[in-house]
Every structure is written in C-alpha cells, then in structure tokens.
Amino acid sequence: MESVRDNLVFNLESWPEAGVSIDFILSPPALLSAMKSGLWETEPQVEEAADLLVFKSSMRGHLDIQLASRVLKIKGAFSIKVQVSCTRCLTPFVGRIRDNISEIVKLVDPGGDANVKAAVDGDLIVTNNQFDLAPLMAELFWLAWPTKPLCKPDCAGLCPSCGANLNDGECSCRRDNVTKH
C-alpha cells in the first residue's frame, strides 16, 4: 500500500498486477480544476456552480483499484466538508458530503473521435500511458451533493409571512395569527 497521495494520476507502465490500494487527499484547488476540465467543459452551469463552492476541507478518501483488459474496477469512499445553505432557513452551514464508490470505467486511448466518445460515455482517456481519476472524483462529488441540505434535522425554516428565521424564535406575525383564530 502506498502512502497518502495528493493526486490521482496513475501510470499504466508501472501498474502492479495486484492492483492499487491508496489513501488520497485532493485539495480544493485540485478538485475545482478537475471539475472544470474533462466532462465539465461542455456544461457551463457546472462551472458556474463550482465557482460558488466554498470548500472547508480537502477531499479525503480511500480507493482500491483493479485493472483488467483496459477496464478499471474502483471501490472506496470519500469525505469532504463544504459550506452549503439550508433549504428551509437559508442559513449557511458547514456540512460533510461522503459517499461510497463502486465504479467500473473503461480506459480509452486518444485518437480520432475517442475524446468525444470518452466524454460522452464517461470513459477515462489515457494520455502518455497515464490516466487521472480526479475528474471521476469530481463527478462523484456532484452526484453525492445533498438535494435538500438541512442545518439541523428539526430546522423550523422561515415564516411564510414575514420571512423571519423561526430557529431564532417565534415571529410577531405568527403570534398575531394564533390569537386571531
């Protein structure tokens, strides 16, 4: 097993027959770079969303990678802290995104339409006998993003009348509505 890696670029010439088992750390700049390249080049809204991200930690994880006949079998997990906004009260908070990984990915050599095909199919492009898993990790990060993040499970949200944050206490319009009934 290797020590902790700070990149996910692998060389096929020195690939061990038993596969690779690594712990990794991807810094926020490395993760942002991976988000804005490769598959994301054709999705401008993803680049705009990436520009709004506030990372509170690096992505940390573990990967077990097997290679057979130009196909990678990847298992592992990752975790990262990011600033998100609560969907009920709109308050920013730091949340942890974590997910398990179980992927099968083809390696394709560039040439002809291979770059277009790889981007469409989600295959990884091999350049100079190397491939980079950082774009895949960026995609898995987006797929693990919570659909409705909450600052706390019992978040009271905002008052629909005045917009006050009900986590801070009752608002005056709520008391007025209660006494009128």
| pLDDT tens digits, 119-128 | 546 788 888 8
Residue with tokens 């319009």: 173
**SS3 label, residue 134:** helix
| pLDDT tens digits, 65-75 | 999 988 999 99
Q: Which helix (H) or strand (E) holds 179?
A: helix 172-180
pTM of the model: 0.80
Pair of tokens at residue 170: 């009752």
Q: What is the mean pLDDT of residues 47-68?
A: 86
Distance (Å, whole) CA 24 – CA 27 = 10
Pair of tokens at residue 104: 């099968």
Say if CB 78 and CB 137 are below 8 A apart. yes
- Minimal CA–CA distance to 177: which of 164, 108, 52, 168? 164
Cα 114 to Cα 72, 79, 106, 125: the distances in Å are: 17, 32, 12, 8
Dihedral of alpha carbons 24, 41, 108, 71, sign? positive
96-100: Cβ within 8 A, 24+ apart: 97/141, 97/144, 97/145, 97/146, 98/144, 99/140, 99/143, 99/144, 100/76
pLDDT tier at 40, thresholds 50, 70, 90: low
